[in-house]
A and B are shown apart, each in its own frame.
Chain A
Amino acid sequence: MKDITYRFEKALLNLDKVEARRLLDRVGNNFKPLDLVSKIVVPALERIGDAWQDGSVALSQIYMSGRICEQLIDELLPPSSDKRKHQPKMAIAVLDDFHFLGKRIVHSHIRSAGFEIKDYGRKTVDELVSSITEDDIDVIFISTLMYPSALNVQHVKEKLSVAAPKVKIVVGGAPFNMDTKLWQQVGADAMGHDGGEALKYINKMMEE
Protein backbone atom coordinates (compact mmCIF):
# COMPACT_ATOMS: atom_id res chain seq x y z
CA MET A 1 0.00 0.00 0.00
CA LYS A 2 2.89 2.38 0.75
CA ASP A 3 4.09 1.94 -2.82
CA ILE A 4 0.64 2.85 -4.18
CA THR A 5 0.44 5.92 -1.93
CA TYR A 6 3.89 7.04 -3.06
CA ARG A 7 3.00 6.56 -6.72
CA PHE A 8 -0.32 8.34 -6.18
CA GLU A 9 1.54 11.30 -4.68
CA LYS A 10 3.94 11.35 -7.65
CA ALA A 11 1.01 11.25 -10.06
CA LEU A 12 -0.56 14.24 -8.29
CA LEU A 13 2.66 16.25 -8.39
CA ASN A 14 2.99 15.45 -12.10
CA LEU A 15 -0.65 16.55 -12.56
CA ASP A 16 -1.31 13.09 -14.03
CA LYS A 17 -4.98 12.55 -13.28
CA VAL A 18 -5.17 9.46 -15.50
CA GLU A 19 -2.42 7.69 -13.53
CA ALA A 20 -3.93 8.81 -10.21
CA ARG A 21 -7.28 7.33 -11.22
CA ARG A 22 -5.63 4.14 -12.48
CA LEU A 23 -3.90 3.65 -9.12
CA LEU A 24 -7.15 4.10 -7.19
CA ASP A 25 -8.96 1.74 -9.59
CA ARG A 26 -6.23 -0.86 -9.14
CA VAL A 27 -6.87 -1.24 -5.41
CA GLY A 28 -10.51 -0.13 -5.50
CA ASN A 29 -11.98 -3.64 -5.38
CA ASN A 30 -10.30 -4.40 -2.07
CA PHE A 31 -11.30 -1.25 -0.24
CA LYS A 32 -14.36 0.81 0.51
CA PRO A 33 -14.18 4.36 -0.90
CA LEU A 34 -13.58 5.93 2.52
CA ASP A 35 -10.72 3.49 3.15
CA LEU A 36 -9.17 4.49 -0.18
CA VAL A 37 -9.42 8.06 1.02
CA SER A 38 -7.84 7.45 4.40
CA LYS A 39 -5.12 5.03 3.22
CA ILE A 40 -4.08 6.68 -0.07
CA VAL A 41 -5.53 10.12 -0.71
CA VAL A 42 -5.13 11.74 2.72
CA PRO A 43 -1.54 10.48 3.32
CA ALA A 44 -0.54 11.72 -0.15
CA LEU A 45 -2.07 15.15 0.43
CA GLU A 46 -0.49 15.39 3.89
CA ARG A 47 2.94 14.54 2.49
CA ILE A 48 2.51 17.14 -0.26
CA GLY A 49 1.53 19.66 2.43
CA ASP A 50 4.66 18.84 4.43
CA ALA A 51 6.75 19.30 1.29
CA TRP A 52 5.16 22.75 0.75
CA GLN A 53 6.26 23.75 4.23
CA ASP A 54 9.89 22.77 3.61
CA GLY A 55 9.83 24.57 0.26
CA SER A 56 10.20 21.52 -2.00
CA VAL A 57 6.68 21.70 -3.43
CA ALA A 58 4.98 24.80 -4.84
CA LEU A 59 1.53 26.23 -4.20
CA SER A 60 0.45 25.49 -7.77
CA GLN A 61 1.18 21.79 -7.20
CA ILE A 62 -0.82 21.79 -3.97
CA TYR A 63 -3.73 23.45 -5.72
CA MET A 64 -3.69 21.10 -8.71
CA SER A 65 -3.25 18.02 -6.47
CA GLY A 66 -6.26 19.00 -4.40
CA ARG A 67 -8.28 19.66 -7.52
CA ILE A 68 -7.48 16.25 -9.01
CA CYS A 69 -8.24 14.46 -5.72
CA GLU A 70 -11.51 16.30 -5.29
CA GLN A 71 -12.63 15.30 -8.78
CA LEU A 72 -11.64 11.65 -8.24
CA ILE A 73 -13.29 11.40 -4.85
CA ASP A 74 -16.45 13.12 -6.10
CA GLU A 75 -16.76 10.24 -8.57
CA LEU A 76 -16.34 7.64 -5.81
CA LEU A 77 -18.34 9.53 -3.21
CA PRO A 78 -20.79 11.95 -4.84
CA PRO A 79 -21.75 14.96 -2.68
CA SER A 80 -25.15 13.33 -2.06
CA SER A 81 -23.65 10.02 -0.89
CA ASP A 82 -24.63 8.99 2.62
CA LYS A 83 -21.11 7.60 3.00
CA ARG A 84 -19.68 11.13 3.02
CA LYS A 85 -18.72 12.42 6.44
CA HIS A 86 -21.02 15.19 7.61
CA GLN A 87 -19.55 15.53 11.11
CA PRO A 88 -18.13 17.73 12.47
CA LYS A 89 -20.19 20.49 10.84
CA MET A 90 -17.62 22.63 9.07
CA ALA A 91 -17.48 25.78 7.01
CA ILE A 92 -14.72 27.79 5.36
CA ALA A 93 -14.53 31.49 4.50
CA VAL A 94 -12.25 34.24 3.35
CA LEU A 95 -12.47 37.03 5.91
CA ASP A 96 -12.63 40.63 4.66
CA ASP A 97 -10.25 39.73 1.89
CA PHE A 98 -10.34 39.31 -1.88
CA HIS A 99 -7.89 36.42 -2.23
CA PHE A 100 -9.57 33.07 -2.64
CA LEU A 101 -6.91 30.52 -3.62
CA GLY A 102 -6.01 29.45 -0.07
CA LYS A 103 -9.66 28.81 0.76
CA ARG A 104 -10.11 26.87 -2.46
CA ILE A 105 -7.12 24.63 -1.66
CA VAL A 106 -8.23 23.81 1.88
CA HIS A 107 -11.81 23.28 0.72
CA SER A 108 -10.75 20.75 -1.92
CA HIS A 109 -8.41 18.94 0.49
CA ILE A 110 -11.19 18.53 3.05
CA ARG A 111 -13.66 17.34 0.44
CA SER A 112 -11.03 14.97 -0.97
CA ALA A 113 -10.93 13.33 2.45
CA GLY A 114 -14.64 12.52 2.17
CA PHE A 115 -15.89 15.31 4.41
CA GLU A 116 -18.55 17.82 3.50
CA ILE A 117 -17.87 21.48 4.25
CA LYS A 118 -19.87 24.62 3.55
CA ASP A 119 -18.15 27.25 1.43
CA TYR A 120 -19.11 30.72 2.67
CA GLY A 121 -17.05 32.60 0.10
CA ARG A 122 -16.03 36.05 1.32
CA LYS A 123 -17.58 37.34 4.55
CA THR A 124 -17.25 40.31 6.84
CA VAL A 125 -16.92 39.66 10.58
CA ASP A 126 -20.64 40.13 11.27
CA GLU A 127 -21.75 38.11 8.25
CA LEU A 128 -19.45 35.27 9.23
CA VAL A 129 -20.59 35.13 12.84
CA SER A 130 -24.19 35.21 11.71
CA SER A 131 -23.72 32.32 9.24
CA ILE A 132 -21.82 30.22 11.78
CA THR A 133 -24.55 30.54 14.38
CA GLU A 134 -27.39 29.99 11.89
CA ASP A 135 -25.78 26.83 10.50
CA ASP A 136 -24.75 25.55 13.93
CA ILE A 137 -21.16 25.10 12.75
CA ASP A 138 -18.62 23.21 14.89
CA VAL A 139 -15.41 24.25 13.09
CA ILE A 140 -14.82 27.37 11.01
CA PHE A 141 -11.75 27.57 8.76
CA ILE A 142 -10.74 31.17 8.04
CA SER A 143 -8.36 32.04 5.22
CA THR A 144 -6.65 35.43 4.92
CA LEU A 145 -3.91 36.96 2.84
CA MET A 146 -3.91 40.54 4.07
CA TYR A 147 -2.59 41.37 7.54
CA PRO A 148 -5.59 43.54 8.55
CA SER A 149 -7.89 40.62 7.65
CA ALA A 150 -5.83 38.30 9.85
CA LEU A 151 -6.20 40.76 12.73
CA ASN A 152 -9.97 40.76 12.23
CA VAL A 153 -10.09 37.11 13.31
CA GLN A 154 -9.95 38.45 16.87
CA HIS A 155 -13.28 40.24 16.29
CA VAL A 156 -14.79 36.97 15.06
CA LYS A 157 -13.47 35.29 18.19
CA GLU A 158 -14.92 37.99 20.47
CA LYS A 159 -18.36 37.76 18.88
CA LEU A 160 -18.38 33.97 18.78
CA SER A 161 -17.38 33.75 22.42
CA VAL A 162 -20.78 35.29 23.15
CA ALA A 163 -22.91 33.82 20.35
CA ALA A 164 -21.41 30.32 19.95
CA PRO A 165 -18.52 29.76 22.35
CA LYS A 166 -17.94 26.11 21.43
CA VAL A 167 -17.05 26.85 17.80
CA LYS A 168 -13.43 26.09 16.96
CA ILE A 169 -11.58 28.60 14.80
CA VAL A 170 -8.81 27.35 12.52
CA VAL A 171 -6.86 30.00 10.60
CA GLY A 172 -4.47 29.91 7.68
CA GLY A 173 -2.81 32.12 5.10
CA ALA A 174 0.32 34.15 4.52
CA PRO A 175 0.26 36.35 7.67
CA PHE A 176 0.01 33.26 9.86
CA ASN A 177 2.80 31.52 7.95
CA MET A 178 5.06 34.56 8.36
CA ASP A 179 4.35 35.05 12.07
CA THR A 180 3.81 31.73 13.79
CA LYS A 181 2.53 33.40 16.98
CA LEU A 182 -0.17 35.39 15.22
CA TRP A 183 -2.87 32.68 15.40
CA GLN A 184 -2.66 32.71 19.19
CA GLN A 185 -2.62 36.51 19.28
CA VAL A 186 -5.96 36.65 17.42
CA GLY A 187 -7.52 33.94 19.59
CA ALA A 188 -7.73 31.08 17.08
CA ASP A 189 -7.80 27.48 18.30
CA ALA A 190 -5.31 26.31 15.68
CA MET A 191 -3.54 27.31 12.50
CA GLY A 192 -2.69 25.28 9.45
CA HIS A 193 0.01 25.92 6.88
CA ASP A 194 -1.86 23.90 4.25
CA GLY A 195 -4.83 21.64 3.55
CA GLY A 196 -2.99 18.63 4.97
CA GLU A 197 -2.76 20.31 8.36
CA ALA A 198 -6.46 21.17 8.18
CA LEU A 199 -7.16 17.45 7.75
CA LYS A 200 -4.88 16.57 10.67
CA TYR A 201 -6.84 19.00 12.85
CA ILE A 202 -10.19 17.48 11.82
CA ASN A 203 -8.97 13.93 12.44
CA LYS A 204 -7.56 14.89 15.83
CA MET A 205 -10.88 16.49 16.72
CA MET A 206 -12.77 13.36 15.63
CA GLU A 207 -10.59 11.22 17.89
CA GLU A 208 -11.30 13.41 20.93
Chain B
Amino acid sequence: MTSLQRVLTTLGQKEPDRVPLFLLLTMHGAKELGMSIKEYFSKGENVAEGQIRLRKKYGHDCYYAFFYAPIEVEAWGAEVIYLEDGPPNSGNPIIKDAKEILKLSPPSVKGNAALEKNLKCIEILKTSGEEEVPIVGVVMSPFSLPVMQMGFEKYLLLMYEEPEIFEHLMKINEEFIVSWANAQLEAGATAITYFDPVSSTSIIPRELFLKTGYQIAKRTLARINGPTAVHMASGRCLPIIDDLAEVGTAIVGTSVLEDLSEVKAACSKLLTVLGNLNGIEMCRWTKKEAEDAVKSAIVKAATGGGFILSDNHGEIPFQVTDEIIMTIAETARSYGKYPLKK
Protein backbone atom coordinates (compact mmCIF):
# COMPACT_ATOMS: atom_id res chain seq x y z
CA MET B 1 0.00 0.00 0.00
CA THR B 2 1.07 3.59 -0.52
CA SER B 3 0.97 5.94 2.44
CA LEU B 4 -2.15 7.55 1.06
CA GLN B 5 -3.92 4.20 0.64
CA ARG B 6 -2.90 3.24 4.18
CA VAL B 7 -4.35 6.42 5.62
CA LEU B 8 -7.55 6.31 3.56
CA THR B 9 -8.14 2.70 4.61
CA THR B 10 -7.83 3.52 8.30
CA LEU B 11 -10.08 6.57 7.83
CA GLY B 12 -12.64 4.15 6.38
CA GLN B 13 -12.48 2.26 9.72
CA LYS B 14 -10.77 -0.71 8.09
CA GLU B 15 -7.39 -2.28 8.73
CA PRO B 16 -4.70 -1.40 6.15
CA ASP B 17 -1.41 -3.34 5.80
CA ARG B 18 0.00 -1.64 8.89
CA VAL B 19 -0.81 1.13 11.35
CA PRO B 20 -0.24 4.48 9.64
CA LEU B 21 2.38 6.62 11.34
CA PHE B 22 2.42 10.41 11.27
CA LEU B 23 5.74 11.68 12.60
CA LEU B 24 4.83 15.33 13.05
CA LEU B 25 8.39 16.59 12.74
CA THR B 26 8.99 20.27 12.12
CA MET B 27 12.35 21.54 13.46
CA HIS B 28 14.14 18.26 12.78
CA GLY B 29 14.21 19.25 9.12
CA ALA B 30 16.65 22.01 10.05
CA LYS B 31 19.00 19.39 11.53
CA GLU B 32 18.78 17.39 8.31
CA LEU B 33 19.78 20.43 6.28
CA GLY B 34 22.42 21.62 8.76
CA MET B 35 20.66 24.95 9.25
CA SER B 36 19.50 27.02 12.19
CA ILE B 37 15.78 26.85 12.87
CA LYS B 38 15.41 30.46 11.74
CA GLU B 39 17.19 29.93 8.43
CA TYR B 40 15.30 26.69 7.82
CA PHE B 41 11.89 28.30 8.16
CA SER B 42 12.84 31.30 6.01
CA LYS B 43 12.11 29.48 2.74
CA GLY B 44 9.48 27.02 1.62
CA GLU B 45 12.15 25.21 -0.38
CA ASN B 46 14.05 24.38 2.83
CA VAL B 47 11.03 22.97 4.63
CA ALA B 48 9.98 20.91 1.61
CA GLU B 49 13.48 19.46 1.34
CA GLY B 50 13.51 18.79 5.09
CA GLN B 51 10.19 16.95 4.92
CA ILE B 52 11.35 14.85 1.96
CA ARG B 53 14.56 13.86 3.73
CA LEU B 54 12.75 13.07 7.00
CA ARG B 55 10.24 10.83 5.27
CA LYS B 56 12.99 9.08 3.33
CA LYS B 57 14.82 8.48 6.61
CA TYR B 58 11.93 7.30 8.77
CA GLY B 59 9.43 5.98 6.22
CA HIS B 60 6.35 7.43 7.88
CA ASP B 61 3.08 8.20 6.19
CA CYS B 62 2.84 11.95 5.69
CA TYR B 63 4.55 15.16 4.78
CA TYR B 64 3.86 17.73 7.49
CA ALA B 65 3.68 21.18 5.90
CA PHE B 66 3.53 22.96 9.24
CA PHE B 67 6.07 25.72 9.84
CA TYR B 68 5.32 27.16 13.30
CA ALA B 69 2.29 28.19 15.37
CA PRO B 70 2.64 31.99 14.96
CA ILE B 71 2.69 31.92 11.15
CA GLU B 72 -0.90 33.17 11.02
CA VAL B 73 -0.26 36.10 13.36
CA GLU B 74 2.94 36.79 11.44
CA ALA B 75 0.67 37.25 8.44
CA TRP B 76 -1.16 39.94 10.47
CA GLY B 77 2.15 41.71 11.12
CA ALA B 78 3.16 40.16 14.44
CA GLU B 79 6.76 39.51 15.37
CA VAL B 80 8.03 35.92 15.40
CA ILE B 81 10.72 35.11 17.95
CA TYR B 82 13.12 32.36 16.92
CA LEU B 83 14.85 30.06 19.39
CA GLU B 84 17.93 27.94 18.80
CA ASP B 85 16.38 24.81 20.22
CA GLY B 86 12.62 25.19 20.14
CA PRO B 87 9.65 26.22 18.03
CA PRO B 88 9.32 29.88 17.06
CA ASN B 89 7.11 31.90 19.42
CA SER B 90 4.79 34.80 18.81
CA GLY B 91 6.02 38.10 20.24
CA ASN B 92 3.89 40.94 21.55
CA PRO B 93 0.19 40.57 20.72
CA ILE B 94 -1.06 42.61 17.76
CA ILE B 95 -4.31 43.48 19.59
CA LYS B 96 -3.52 45.57 22.65
CA ASP B 97 -7.09 46.57 23.44
CA ALA B 98 -10.35 44.75 22.68
CA LYS B 99 -11.78 47.88 21.04
CA GLU B 100 -9.14 47.58 18.29
CA ILE B 101 -10.95 44.45 17.10
CA LEU B 102 -13.75 46.57 15.66
CA LYS B 103 -11.27 48.15 13.22
CA LEU B 104 -9.45 44.93 12.39
CA SER B 105 -9.41 43.43 8.92
CA PRO B 106 -7.78 40.16 7.89
CA PRO B 107 -4.68 40.03 5.69
CA SER B 108 -4.88 38.67 2.18
CA VAL B 109 -3.35 35.21 1.82
CA LYS B 110 -2.17 35.96 -1.69
CA GLY B 111 1.06 37.92 -1.66
CA ASN B 112 1.65 37.53 2.06
CA ALA B 113 5.31 36.59 2.47
CA ALA B 114 4.83 34.35 5.53
CA LEU B 115 1.97 32.38 4.03
CA GLU B 116 3.44 32.24 0.53
CA LYS B 117 6.57 30.44 1.76
CA ASN B 118 4.34 27.83 3.38
CA LEU B 119 2.34 27.45 0.15
CA LYS B 120 5.59 27.11 -1.81
CA CYS B 121 6.58 24.22 0.46
CA ILE B 122 3.27 22.46 -0.20
CA GLU B 123 3.60 22.98 -3.99
CA ILE B 124 7.07 21.41 -3.98
CA LEU B 125 5.92 18.46 -1.87
CA LYS B 126 2.97 17.91 -4.20
CA THR B 127 5.19 17.51 -7.22
CA SER B 128 8.03 15.62 -5.58
CA GLY B 129 6.49 12.34 -4.50
CA GLU B 130 7.51 8.99 -5.91
CA GLU B 131 4.29 7.66 -4.44
CA GLU B 132 1.16 9.28 -3.16
CA VAL B 133 1.93 10.69 0.27
CA PRO B 134 -0.64 12.70 2.24
CA ILE B 135 0.46 16.30 2.62
CA VAL B 136 -0.85 17.65 5.90
CA GLY B 137 -1.57 21.37 5.90
CA VAL B 138 -2.27 23.23 9.13
CA VAL B 139 -4.37 26.13 10.35
CA MET B 140 -4.95 27.52 13.80
CA SER B 141 -8.69 27.65 14.42
CA PRO B 142 -10.41 31.05 14.39
CA PHE B 143 -11.35 30.32 18.00
CA SER B 144 -7.80 29.56 19.18
CA LEU B 145 -5.95 32.17 17.10
CA PRO B 146 -6.74 35.06 19.52
CA VAL B 147 -4.46 33.54 22.16
CA MET B 148 -1.62 34.77 19.95
CA GLN B 149 -3.48 37.81 18.58
CA MET B 150 -4.18 39.34 21.98
CA GLY B 151 -2.73 37.12 24.75
CA PHE B 152 -4.51 34.36 26.64
CA GLU B 153 -5.70 36.40 29.62
CA LYS B 154 -7.22 39.21 27.58
CA TYR B 155 -8.83 36.65 25.30
CA LEU B 156 -10.50 34.78 28.17
CA LEU B 157 -11.88 38.07 29.48
CA LEU B 158 -13.13 38.96 26.00
CA MET B 159 -14.87 35.59 25.72
CA TYR B 160 -16.55 35.91 29.10
CA GLU B 161 -17.21 39.63 29.32
CA GLU B 162 -17.51 41.11 25.83
CA PRO B 163 -19.50 38.64 23.72
CA GLU B 164 -20.29 41.07 20.91
CA ILE B 165 -16.67 42.00 20.26
CA PHE B 166 -15.76 38.32 20.61
CA GLU B 167 -18.27 37.43 17.87
CA HIS B 168 -16.87 40.19 15.68
CA LEU B 169 -13.35 38.80 16.05
CA MET B 170 -14.58 35.30 15.23
CA LYS B 171 -16.15 36.52 11.99
CA ILE B 172 -12.90 38.18 10.93
CA ASN B 173 -10.83 35.14 11.88
CA GLU B 174 -13.19 32.73 10.16
CA GLU B 175 -12.84 34.55 6.85
CA PHE B 176 -9.07 34.52 7.15
CA ILE B 177 -8.72 30.90 8.22
CA VAL B 178 -11.09 29.62 5.54
CA SER B 179 -9.05 31.46 2.87
CA TRP B 180 -5.79 30.19 4.36
CA ALA B 181 -6.96 26.57 4.56
CA ASN B 182 -8.34 26.60 1.03
CA ALA B 183 -5.14 28.16 -0.33
CA GLN B 184 -3.20 25.25 1.17
CA LEU B 185 -5.59 22.75 -0.42
CA GLU B 186 -5.25 24.50 -3.78
CA ALA B 187 -1.45 24.36 -3.44
CA GLY B 188 -1.67 20.59 -3.01
CA ALA B 189 -2.37 19.79 0.64
CA THR B 190 -4.33 16.57 1.03
CA ALA B 191 -6.00 17.57 4.29
CA ILE B 192 -5.97 20.34 6.86
CA THR B 193 -5.22 19.94 10.54
CA TYR B 194 -7.42 22.38 12.43
CA PHE B 195 -5.56 23.09 15.67
CA ASP B 196 -8.11 24.13 18.26
CA PRO B 197 -6.62 23.79 21.75
CA VAL B 198 -8.93 26.41 23.28
CA SER B 199 -11.90 24.14 22.50
CA SER B 200 -10.33 21.39 24.57
CA THR B 201 -12.00 20.71 27.91
CA SER B 202 -8.57 21.32 29.42
CA ILE B 203 -9.12 24.98 28.57
CA ILE B 204 -12.86 25.71 28.58
CA PRO B 205 -15.83 23.75 29.97
CA ARG B 206 -18.07 21.85 27.52
CA GLU B 207 -20.99 24.25 28.08
CA LEU B 208 -18.89 27.16 26.87
CA PHE B 209 -17.43 25.08 24.01
CA LEU B 210 -20.93 24.34 22.73
CA LYS B 211 -21.70 28.07 22.57
CA THR B 212 -18.36 29.05 21.04
CA GLY B 213 -15.69 26.70 19.62
CA TYR B 214 -18.23 24.12 18.51
CA GLN B 215 -20.28 26.63 16.49
CA ILE B 216 -17.16 28.20 15.03
CA ALA B 217 -15.68 24.82 14.03
CA LYS B 218 -18.95 23.80 12.37
CA ARG B 219 -19.12 27.01 10.34
CA THR B 220 -15.43 27.02 9.45
CA LEU B 221 -14.96 23.36 8.57
CA ALA B 222 -18.04 23.47 6.33
CA ARG B 223 -16.26 26.06 4.17
CA ILE B 224 -12.90 24.28 3.98
CA ASN B 225 -12.82 22.44 0.66
CA GLY B 226 -11.13 19.25 1.84
CA PRO B 227 -10.87 16.75 4.67
CA THR B 228 -9.85 17.99 8.11
CA ALA B 229 -8.49 16.76 11.42
CA VAL B 230 -9.33 18.58 14.64
CA HIS B 231 -6.35 18.61 16.97
CA MET B 232 -6.38 19.72 20.62
CA ALA B 233 -2.57 20.11 20.85
CA SER B 234 -2.20 18.11 24.09
CA GLY B 235 -5.60 19.16 25.47
CA ARG B 236 -8.33 16.74 26.49
CA CYS B 237 -11.14 15.87 24.07
CA LEU B 238 -12.96 12.88 25.59
CA PRO B 239 -15.87 14.85 27.13
CA ILE B 240 -16.62 16.48 23.75
CA ILE B 241 -15.99 13.53 21.39
CA ASP B 242 -19.68 13.24 20.46
CA ASP B 243 -19.78 16.96 19.72
CA LEU B 244 -16.62 16.78 17.61
CA ALA B 245 -18.20 14.00 15.56
CA GLU B 246 -20.80 16.58 14.51
CA VAL B 247 -18.49 19.42 13.43
CA GLY B 248 -17.63 17.82 10.11
CA THR B 249 -14.16 16.44 10.71
CA ALA B 250 -12.73 12.98 10.10
CA ILE B 251 -9.94 12.80 12.69
CA VAL B 252 -9.42 13.90 16.27
CA GLY B 253 -5.98 14.44 17.80
CA THR B 254 -6.03 13.39 21.42
CA SER B 255 -4.02 14.06 24.56
CA VAL B 256 -1.69 11.82 26.49
CA LEU B 257 -3.75 12.86 29.51
CA GLU B 258 -6.52 10.60 28.21
CA ASP B 259 -6.65 6.85 27.83
CA LEU B 260 -6.31 6.00 24.16
CA SER B 261 -8.64 2.99 24.36
CA GLU B 262 -11.36 5.14 25.96
CA VAL B 263 -10.99 7.76 23.23
CA LYS B 264 -11.08 5.08 20.52
CA ALA B 265 -14.24 3.54 21.99
CA ALA B 266 -15.89 6.94 22.32
CA CYS B 267 -15.21 7.71 18.66
CA SER B 268 -17.50 4.77 17.76
CA LYS B 269 -16.09 4.56 14.24
CA LEU B 270 -17.33 8.08 13.53
CA LEU B 271 -13.89 9.61 13.96
CA THR B 272 -10.35 8.34 13.44
CA VAL B 273 -8.04 8.79 16.44
CA LEU B 274 -4.67 10.51 16.00
CA GLY B 275 -2.23 10.19 18.87
CA ASN B 276 -1.03 10.05 21.52
CA LEU B 277 2.67 9.38 22.23
CA ASN B 278 3.96 11.68 24.98
CA GLY B 279 6.16 14.20 23.16
CA ILE B 280 7.70 15.60 26.34
CA GLU B 281 8.62 12.24 27.87
CA MET B 282 9.90 11.26 24.42
CA CYS B 283 12.82 13.65 25.02
CA ARG B 284 14.23 11.31 27.68
CA TRP B 285 12.90 7.94 26.47
CA THR B 286 15.24 4.99 26.12
CA LYS B 287 14.80 2.79 23.05
CA LYS B 288 12.94 0.28 25.22
CA GLU B 289 10.57 2.96 26.53
CA ALA B 290 9.91 4.16 22.98
CA GLU B 291 9.13 0.60 21.85
CA ASP B 292 6.83 0.03 24.82
CA ALA B 293 4.95 3.28 24.23
CA VAL B 294 4.37 2.47 20.55
CA LYS B 295 3.23 -1.06 21.35
CA SER B 296 0.89 0.15 24.08
CA ALA B 297 -0.74 2.71 21.77
CA ILE B 298 -1.22 0.10 19.05
CA VAL B 299 -2.76 -2.39 21.49
CA LYS B 300 -5.14 0.25 22.81
CA ALA B 301 -6.36 1.82 19.59
CA ALA B 302 -5.34 0.11 16.36
CA THR B 303 -7.77 -2.82 16.11
CA GLY B 304 -10.23 -2.36 13.26
CA GLY B 305 -8.47 0.69 11.80
CA GLY B 306 -9.64 4.20 12.61
CA PHE B 307 -6.23 4.97 14.13
CA ILE B 308 -3.12 6.91 13.12
CA LEU B 309 -0.14 6.70 15.45
CA SER B 310 1.36 10.09 16.27
CA ASP B 311 2.58 12.26 19.12
CA ASN B 312 0.01 13.97 21.32
CA HIS B 313 0.89 17.59 20.64
CA GLY B 314 1.21 17.91 16.88
CA GLU B 315 4.92 18.66 17.01
CA ILE B 316 7.79 16.45 18.17
CA PRO B 317 10.23 18.48 20.30
CA PHE B 318 13.60 19.38 18.82
CA GLN B 319 15.29 17.54 21.71
CA VAL B 320 13.98 14.11 20.66
CA THR B 321 16.91 12.21 19.20
CA ASP B 322 17.02 10.60 15.77
CA GLU B 323 17.59 7.25 17.47
CA ILE B 324 14.29 7.48 19.36
CA ILE B 325 12.40 8.68 16.28
CA MET B 326 13.86 5.73 14.34
CA THR B 327 12.83 3.34 17.12
CA ILE B 328 9.27 4.68 17.01
CA ALA B 329 9.17 4.28 13.22
CA GLU B 330 10.66 0.76 13.23
CA THR B 331 8.42 -0.44 16.06
CA ALA B 332 5.33 0.96 14.35
CA ARG B 333 6.33 -0.85 11.14
CA SER B 334 7.03 -4.21 12.76
CA TYR B 335 4.54 -4.33 15.63
CA GLY B 336 1.82 -2.42 13.76
CA LYS B 337 1.41 -4.97 10.93
CA TYR B 338 -2.19 -6.07 10.43
CA PRO B 339 -3.57 -8.45 11.50
CA LEU B 340 -2.22 -7.38 14.86
CA LYS B 341 -0.50 -9.91 17.11
CA LYS B 342 -2.77 -11.07 19.92
Listed in ascending order, the chain A residues whose CB lies under 8 Å from chain B are 15, 55, 57-61, 63-64, 97-101, 104, 146-149, 151, 174-175, 177-179, 181-182, 185
Contacts and interface: CB of A to CB of B under 8 A. Distances in A.
B284 interface: yes
A171 B202 CA distance: 19
B153 A100 contact: yes
Given A15-B160, A182-B280, A185-B284, A98 B90 contact: yes
Contacts of B256: 178
Given A58-B205, A60-B156, A100 B151 contact: yes
Interface stretch (B5-13, B51-59, B80-88, B99-107): B80-88
Q: Determine which residue in B238, B258, B279 has the highest number of CB atoms from chain A within 10 A of its CB, and name it.
A: B279
Q: Determine which residue in B81, B159, B258, B284 has the highest number of CB atoms from chain A within 10 A of its CB, and name it.
A: B284
Interface of B: 81, 83, 85-87, 89-91, 151-153, 156, 159-160, 201-205, 208, 234, 236, 238-239, 256-258, 278-281, 283-284, 317-319
Contacts of B279: 178
Nearest to A102: B152
A174 B315 CA distance: 14
Contact of A148 (B86, B90, B160, B278): B86
21 contacts: A15-B160, A55-B239, A58-B208, A59-B203, A63-B153, A64-B156, A97-B89, A100-B153, A101-B156, A104-B153, A147-B280, A147-B283, A148-B318, A149-B86, A151-B319, A174-B280, A175-B280, A178-B256, A178-B281, A179-B278, A179-B281
A141 B318 CA distance: 26
A55 B83 contact: no
A58 B234 contact: no
Q: Determine which residue in A57, A58, A101, A104 has the highest number of CB atoms from chain B within 10 A of its CB, and name it.
A: A58
B210 to A, nearest CB: 13
Given A98-B90, A101-B152, A148-B83, A61 B205 contact: yes
Contacts of B317: 147
A55 B236 CA distance: 8
Q: Determine which residue in B201, B202, B278 has the highest number of CB atoms from chain A within 10 A of its CB, and name it.
A: B202
A15 B161 CA distance: 11
Contacts, number: 77
SS class of chain A's interface: helix, strand, loop or mixed? helix
Contacts of A63: 153, 156
Contacts of B159: 60
Nearest to A105: B153
A166 to B, nearest CB: 29
Contacts of A182: 280
A179 B285 CA distance: 11
A177 B156 CA distance: 22
B30 to A, nearest CB: 14
Given A60-B156, A100-B153, 13 more contacts: A55-B201, A60-B159, A64-B156, A100-B151, A146-B87, A146-B89, A147-B280, A148-B83, A175-B280, A178-B279, A179-B281, A179-B284, A181-B284
Given A147-B317, A178-B256, A60 B208 contact: yes
A175 B281 CA distance: 9
B234 A64 contact: no
Nearest to A149: B86
B284 A98 contact: no
Nearest to A145: B89
A55 B283 contact: no
A179 to B, nearest CB: 4
B202 A55 contact: yes
B234 A60 contact: no
Contacts of A98: 81, 89-91
